[in-house]
Structure 1
Amino acid sequence: MHKDSLEIHPLDFHFGCSITLPPYAKNDPANLNEQDFKKLYEAVHQYLVVVIPGQEKLSPKSQYLLTKRFDPSIPEPKDTAGANYGHGKEFRHTQSVLRKDGTSVKSQPQVQILGQGVFDKDEPGNENGEAIKLTHPSHTTFHHTPLTPDQIKNESKTRFYRWHIDSALYDLSPPMVTTLLGIKVPPTTQYQTISYDDGTGDELKLTQGATCFVSGAQAFKNLSDEDQEFALNTTVEYAPHPYIFISPARATSDGLTMVSEGKEMNFEELPEWEASKVKKLPMVWTNPVTKEHHLQVHGCCLYKLHTKVGETIETLALEDAREKVHKLMRPNISPNQILAHGWKQGDLVIFYNRGVWHSVTGEFKGVGSNGEDERRLMHQCNIASGIDPVTIF
């Protein structure tokens, strides 16, 4: 029997929970009253990843309104093209590594349609009145040394695609939360195995297309005292138009950062940019509810690290900055640190984007060897905040 208020069910892990909505909400979390929304807000900040099942009919408008409610600093939309979307206009730029990651809902452009396969105009989740073709991000086009076709097909191997924080990391501030809705997902009986390929022997078996999360709070706690001190005193400078800057380069096999081969675009080749819009963010962000420190770095998009040592600032340039960040991050993607969410139809996942790192996983073919439908369709919403994250000592 449902109670009259929102119920929280912690997962059997060091973060994450599921939510049962109260009857009055009519299975739409956008209808929560102030008291229950406050409980949801605090749950997202405390548990970091929140799952609300049975939301396959949630409208794009409700998803947008729910997402926006988490951040009063979000300005009203500047135009109908969704200029306040979390990745801004770079999400569709022809040179961006994000360019194939989806399409916008025409009626609610802050909501993106993601997935794999062709969907007719009348299929659930396709709100655009025309057939759409979606491509699931695959490590095979992004990693420096991808798995072989045999490893993917016959051994069911896959990789973390890219560990990241949802953010443009240029001009716009990182979104507070991301909401991700699974409308059409493959059967949960299909599994793949993450191959780390770094000599550790680490592997992680998960459902096909699972989204993986790491707690930035736990990642900070896992650092040595010396590394915590370094992180607390370090500012991460991101490249201008970072997703375009890195587009000719390729990622490490664990998806944490890029291989340094000098292939990045020269700044002179980038679209017009302004120094004042380059993002310089603390390496550690403070959770406003729990007051915990979260190690929050986008390792693929960083450009430099600036560390305060006494009265001086020491700077690590691109290659050394990547190497340092990789050393800080790699222990925290070990299998026992990862919450791998295996998608069920109707799952709405709300995650605290300023408190976790996450990665796409999985390889999709369209129709599996046993005839299973491997198409996937999801709605994603995150909106650039009006304020940058801060570290409170």
Structure 2
Amino acid sequence: MVVEALTEVIAPEGVKARLIATKSTDITLPHAEQTNGRVVPVQHAAESKVDFGAEVYGIDLNRLTDADFQLISDALHKHKVLIFKEQPEMLQPQQQYLLTANFDPDETTGGFAHGADPFLTSHGGVNIYGIQSRPAIPVQPQVHILGRGEVPENHYQFPPGFKVKGIDHHAFHLPPHIPKEEREKGASRFYQWHWDGALYNIPPPRVGCLLAVKTPKGPDVTVRWDDGTGTEMKIPPGATAYVAGSRALEVLDEETRQIVLHSRIEYAPHAFKWMSTAHSARLGHILETEGLELPREKLPPVDETKICIYPMVWTNPKTGEKSLQVHGQGAVKLYLRSSPDGEEKIVDDLKEVRDFMHRIMRPAISPENIYAHRHQEQDVVLWYNRALWHSIVS
């Protein structure tokens, strides 16, 4: 099981839990004069273009101090992904919330990643919120379990026999899908390349966090691009895949790079409800243009002042590094400029919008740019959500 805060956790049969941090409790950390933390950069294969990731030793996240947090924050902005090794015991949901909430202490609206959860079910007087594919943990409702399979008995107040519905590309990707017999032999796809955020009303969180409780076992899976290029990649089962927005910016041609440096994206209101009836492209980076999105009249009421328009390129506040941070599936309108004072071109035709999103996202989504993290049980993974894209496989 994995936990996220965004926080994610991997459970039986490959289950993930997501933490949506809110300022609902005291997030003050105990004081310490120094930390015992030690940061060791990840060594990637010689053919890899990945330049991020580090392992952290010597910090017990269940006993996190302000000195620990300062080291973590500095290291995270530098390395983008941190893997906390040698945790003496499983990270508790309350402490996972504490870790992630300290990165966004001023976000007080109920759940800054995707908003307030709907009521799901009740058991023995315990209410459970969320949706079947990511139910909230009753003892810390900002934490969600994502994945597939039955939740262990007495697992953070979940009822006996409670099952988490697995995420499956059959329900989201454009057909044809990978046949069952090929999937059983290890064929898979990236489900959705994204950074975490509501894309409406609520700002995107600064971090995501994964706790590996129980990980899938078996040989590596073969991830298919299925976009006509024949591209494939071997990755560990249950892995989380990451691409750096800085690398995505670097691999663009100069003309396109100048455009994204000076342009903005408008995202759909209630974006995930809006796209729930549409198909994703098979690579998981954009939607197919079939006219299947929910029309405005079938969405919850829209407050025009809460529609999100973000720059395409974001700057790391500690390092100054620039990253192409775009959510291809939620984009509905582009405001394009090729220079700071150039004429702005507005693109609101969905096919043109998606063609442009494909143009700027696809170059980075290549095996040499992808870090597929193999989760080890009891390890914790923290990533800088405003500089990376990520995806699971399904």
The alignment's TM-score, normalised by the length of structure 2, stands at 0.82
CA contact (8 A) 1:284 1:294 kept: yes
2:256 counterpart (202, 211, 227):
227
CA contact (8 A) 2:285 2:328 kept: yes
CA contact (8 A) 2:211 2:379 kept: yes
1:165 maps to a residue whose letter is W
> Deviation at 1:191?
1.7
Query: Are 1:18 and 2:76 counterparts?
Result: no
1:149 counterpart (174, 180, 183):
180
User: How far apart are the structure 1 equivalents of 2:332 and 2:118?
Assistant: 19
What's the CA shift string for 1:66-113, capped at 9, x where partnerless?
1011223323xx6xxxx22411136779xxxx9443111112111112
CA contact (8 A) 1:256 1:326 kept: yes
Query: Are 1:185 and 2:215 counterparts?
Result: yes
The residue aligned with 1:255 is 284
Structure 1 residues 296 and 343, CA, compared in 2 at 3 Å: closer, same or farther? same
2:91 counterpart (30, 46, 58):
58
> Deviation at 1:121?
3.0
Q: Structure 1 regions of 5+ residues with no counterpart?
A: 363-393
> Deviation at 1:311?
4.8
CA contact (8 A) 2:52 2:79 kept: yes
1:112 counterpart (133, 138, 144):
144
Query: Are 1:297 and 2:326 counterparts?
Result: yes
The residue aligned with 1:86 is 113
The residue aligned with 1:209 is 238
Query: What secondary structure sits across from 1:184 in the alignment?
Result: coil
Query: What secondary structure sits across from 1:340 in the alignment?
Result: strand
Larger RCO, structures 1/2 (Cα 8 Å, 6+ apart): 1
Deviates more, 1:327-336 or 1:196-205: 196-205
Structure 1 residues 151 and 113, CA, compared in 2 at 3 Å: closer, same or farther? same
1:9 counterpart (32, 40, 45):
40
> Deviation at 1:8?
0.5
Query: What secondary structure sits across from 2:213 in the alignment?
Result: strand
1:12 maps to a residue whose letter is Q
Structure 1 residues 150 and 248, CA, compared in 2 at 3 Å: closer, same or farther? same
2:255 maps to a residue whose letter is E
2:381 counterpart (329, 349, 373):
349
Query: Are 1:162 and 2:192 counterparts?
Result: yes
> Deviation at 1:295?
0.4
What's the CA shift string for 1:39-74, capped at 9, x where partnerless?
210111111111113446211110001101122332
Summarize the alignment of residues 15-54 of structure 1 with structure 2, pairs less than 5 Å apart: 15-22=52-59, 27-28=60-61, 30-34=63-67, 36-54=68-86
> Deviation at 1:21?
2.1
> Deviation at 1:312?
2.9
1:337 counterpart (341, 345, 369):
369
Structure 1 residues 21 and 29, CA, compared in 2 at 3 Å: closer, same or farther? farther
Structure 1 residues 134 and 175, CA, compared in 2 at 3 Å: closer, same or farther? same
Q: Structure 2 regions of 5+ residues with no counterpart?
A: 1-33, 45-50, 121-129
> Deviation at 1:354?
0.5
User: How far apart are the structure 2 equivalents of 1:114 and 1:236?
Assistant: 28
The residue aligned with 2:268 is 239
Query: What secondary structure sits across from 1:137 in the alignment?
Result: coil
> Deviation at 1:150?
2.5
CA contact (8 A) 1:18 1:52 kept: yes
User: How far apart are the structure 2 equivalents of 1:129 and 1:137?
Assistant: 20
User: How far apart are the structure 1 equivalents of 2:118 and 2:357?
Assistant: 25
Query: What secondary structure sits across from 1:136 in the alignment?
Result: coil
User: How far apart are the structure 2 equivalents of 1:120 and 1:19?
Assistant: 29
The residue aligned with 2:13 is none
Query: What secondary structure sits across from 2:246 in the alignment?
Result: helix
Query: What secondary structure sits across from 2:344 in the alignment?
Result: strand
CA contact (8 A) 2:189 2:283 kept: yes
What's the CA shift string for 1:159-217, capped at 9, x where partnerless?
00000111011100000001111111122x43210011122221110111211000011
2:360 counterpart (323, 328, 332):
328
Structure 1 residues 217 and 91, CA, compared in 2 at 3 Å: closer, same or farther? farther
User: How far apart are the structure 2 equivalents of 1:90 and 1:275?
Assistant: 22
Query: What secondary structure sits across from 2:332 in the alignment?
Result: strand
CA contact (8 A) 1:164 1:298 kept: yes
> Deviation at 1:32?
2.8
User: How far apart are the structure 2 equivalents of 1:176 and 1:39?
Assistant: 16
The alignment's TM-score, normalised by the length of structure 1, stands at 0.82
